[in-house]
Amino acid sequence: MAATVKDGYRVLGLVGALHSGRGQLLGYLISHSESTAQTVTFYDSLSCEGSVLHQVKLHPNRSPFFVRFGTPPGKEEGIPFSTGLSVNAGNCEVAVWSVGYDG
């Protein structure tokens, strides 16, 4: 049962936990203005270390880059996390859509 649906987070740089406990990463939008490829890493963790949940390397000609897991709308099949959700956005701006569940 979903406890809280997060409309989204705007993330810059190294960020701690967006969620604590179980949930799903539903999607993200990444952009950057750097001249080289940038990496964004999502963790199943309360900090930006440990178990990597998902990682994206984004080249300048691909920015902005949008991903929504699952189709059609309303049938999202996100990437599950159990400990929490954290993201290291590096030099990127990242919008994160996720949902947390009651334990």
**Residues in the chain, overall count:** 103
Q: Structure pTM?
A: 0.82
For residue 83, the model assigns a pLDDT of 92
CA proximity to 11, closest of 77, 76, 56, 69? 56
CA proximity to 101, closest of 86, 85, 90, 88? 85
pLDDT, tens digit (0-9, with 9 covering 90-100), for 47-99: 888 899 999 999 888 878 888 887 666 666 789 999 999 999 888 888 888 88
pLDDT, tens digit (0-9, with 9 covering 90-100), for 52-63: 999 999 988 887
Partnered with residue 98 across adjacent β-strands are: 6, 25
How many angstroms separate the Cα of 64 from the Cα of each of 31, 33, 91, 99? 4, 9, 13, 23
What confidence tier does 41 reach under pLDDT thresholds 50, 70, 90? very high
CATH class of 2-101: mainly beta
